[in-house]
């Protein structure tokens, strides 16, 4: 029996409208988590060729397999993109994950951090954050949470602290792939 359970990931914007849905993701069971991920109660999801639905209803299929890490209580999530040239980390500044049934939801706060295969770190979408901060009337509390989430994420990325380990992301993916192909 396949130990991985099927989940959807739903991303919303601050005003409550749906931003994006990743329709098919498989959650790594707690018993199969690396000790460093289990220690932080991380929620780890794997997808490959997953259908993605945008806000306007358009659907497309991701070409790049990924392993996504949600850490309860943290204002960010981390997506490891398993590309041909290595593992690139794409991180969303976002509200902590909320899990209900087979769905994980969060509010996307626009700012993203990219950590390339060579360890270079870049913050992107700052203009989008500034625009939405005004349009969606982010409160001072939200702005503080976003700033502290960004600071914590940057610190984690600079130290290459879990889950910023390409080998572990690749190991999860291989484990899942073997299971999906019947062992």
Q: Alpha helices, DSSP H only, in 2-88?
A: 35-38
How many C-beta atoms lie closer than 10 Å to residue 157's C-beta? 19
Identify the active-site residue in 20, 27, 144, 156: 20
- Rounded to 10 degrees, the C-alpha dihedral 76/82/83/87 comes to 60
Q: How far apart are CA 25 and CA 5, in angstroms?
A: 8
* Residue showing tokens 């130990």: 3
Nearest alpha carbon to residue 96 among 54, 148, 168: 148
Nearest alpha carbon to residue 115 among 145, 72, 81: 81
Residue 144 is among the residues annotated as catalytic for this protein? no
For 155, the token pair is: 């610190």
Active-site residues, by number, are 20
């Amino acid at each position: 029996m396949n130990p991985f359970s099927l989940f959807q990931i739903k991303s919303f914007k601050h005003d409550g409208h749906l931003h994006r849905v990743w329709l098919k993701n498989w959650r790594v069971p707690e018993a199969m988590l690396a000790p460093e991920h289990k220690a932080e109660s991380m929620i780890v999801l794997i997808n490959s060729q997953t259908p993605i639905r945008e806000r306007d209803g358009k659907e497309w299929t991701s070409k790049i397999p990924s392993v996504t890490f949600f850490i309860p209580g943290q204002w960010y999530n981390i997506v490891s993109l398993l590309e041909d040239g290595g593992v690139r980390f794409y991180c969303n500044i976002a509200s902590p994950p909320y899990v209900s049934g087979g769905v994980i939801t969060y509010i996307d706060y626009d700012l993203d951090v990219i950590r390339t295969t060579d360890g270079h770190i870049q913050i992107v979408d700052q203009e989008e954050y500034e625009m939405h901060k005004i349009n969606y009337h982010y409160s001072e509390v939200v702005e503080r949470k976003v700033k502290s989430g960004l600071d914590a994420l940057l610190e984690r990325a600079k130290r290459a602290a879990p889950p910023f380990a390409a080998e572990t992301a690749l190991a999860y993916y291989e484990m899942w792939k073997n299971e999906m192909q019947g062992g």
